[in-house]
Structure 1
């Protein structure tokens, strides 16, 4: 090859292109991943629903309590109103009053417990709303950032491809075909630079006969161990 370093530059460009494409794939995944917002929304909706159910329960308990208090007042009025005509009627009213008082006591205990839960859920609703707002803001910032990054990467890839094509022209077609085959089979590392007497890719010593032929005109040398294309670092 007229300029052996061209194939190393080509490999560098290919690696840069692949790195950019990998990052684009990550960005596409991030753009489609709404799990953080979805999770925060589900939690917020669940807490709000529990809070609404609890609010409805409290309203019902308060309504039931008012009804029982009204009944209690009515029975008390009858007992002490002087309109009772028999001991049997008095006993029945006293029994009813006792039952109402027991129900009121139980209901007020339930109402007190519900009010404690109400305070707890009210704080939870605020926290979940704040959390959802924070998640949405972070997602908005992330989308703006990675969308901008995506646009830059797409332009970078176009520029890198242009430079790659210029480098490819400098490489003989047979060498380029070999390079492409090795790049696919060697995880993107088709070309290795000699470091002293060793291949920098596999760190195995290269025989003198191969080392001396590296970089000579119309010659392409390969590592005797990993089979990568060898070039010198000068």
Structure 2
């Protein structure tokens, strides 16, 4: 392997380490964001439950007012029943009175059902609040750990950026441009090793995309110190060792 590919290998090695550090930083940020999303979801759930409690309690209050109004009406019907002077009038008022009693029982059932739902939703709120408090405590721990790690990783990142700049200065500008384009296209993986399909046949494929590589490129890699690219994925190709068959 010539000086050009050696320099590119050093650059690729630093690029790989840079990518690893960046991924570690991004992973920690994603962990924090995931916790934040869970907290936001729990807070939204609690807000919804409290809204349900408020609406259900309002319904219970309306039912209670209706029941009191009907109780007053029932008392008046009883008074009227006692003042009746004919069987026909008595029967009519008695029918109203019995109907009112049935309606009051239904309203009381509605009040009890509403109050039971309020109690159930309050218990749900308390349980969700406990979960929320735990999530907030865990978020605080994760955020602190992430901040400390990012500070440490940022120092590594700066050191690697300096190393990358130094390594890049050892590469010809035209070659560096090819490397940078391949990096952008393949998430930092600008180089690909040639893989021999069969030890007794001069058949090679790109280690990056598995496309077949022409023999003239294999010959060029073994005889010249210049950049050869995969015609499919544009990665910079290299051989770990000379090809084991004559090509």
Q: Given the superposition, is the C-alpha separation of residues 163 and 146 from structure 1 closer, same or farther in structure 2, using an over 3 Å criterion?
A: farther
Shift of 1:127: 1.8
TM-score w.r.t. length of structure 2: 0.67
- Determine helix, strand or coil for the equivalent of 1:221: coil
Residue 173 (structure 2) aligns with: 173
Q: Given the superposition, is the C-alpha separation of residues 228 and 64 from structure 1 closer, same or farther in structure 2, using an over 3 Å criterion?
A: closer
Question: Is 1:229 aligned with 2:229?
Answer: no
Q: Is the 8 A contact 2:16 2:188 kept in 1?
A: yes
Question: Is 1:55 aligned with 2:57?
Answer: yes
Shift of 1:74: 5.5
Q: Relative contact order: is structure 1 or structure 2 higher (C-alpha 8 Å, sep ≥ 6)?
A: 1
1:213 to 215, 218, 223: 223
Shift of 1:161: 1.0
Q: Given the superposition, is the C-alpha separation of residues 131 and 156 from structure 1 closer, same or farther in structure 2, using an over 3 Å criterion?
A: farther
Q: Given the superposition, is the C-alpha separation of residues 2 and 68 from structure 1 closer, same or farther in structure 2, using an over 3 Å criterion?
A: closer
Aligned residue pairs total 225
- Correspondence 1:8-47 to 2 at 5 A: 8-18=9-19, 20-21=21-22, 27=29, 31=33, 35-47=37-49
Shift of 1:106: 0.7
CA distance in 1, matches of 2:181, 2:81: 104
TM-score w.r.t. length of structure 1: 0.70
Shift of 1:109: 1.0
196-205 or 115-124: which moved more? 196-205
- Correspondence 1:1-234 to 2 at 5 A: 2=3, 4-18=5-19, 20-21=21-22, 27=29, 31=33, 35-73=37-75, 76=78, 84=83, 87=85, 95-96=92-93, 98-135=95-132, 137-138=134-135, 141-142=138-139, 144-145=141-142, 148-149=145-146, 151=150, 152-185=152-185, 188-196=188-196, 198=204, 199-203=206-210, 204-205=212-213, 206-207=215-216, 208-213=218-223, 219-223=225-229, 225-226=231-232, 227-233=234-240
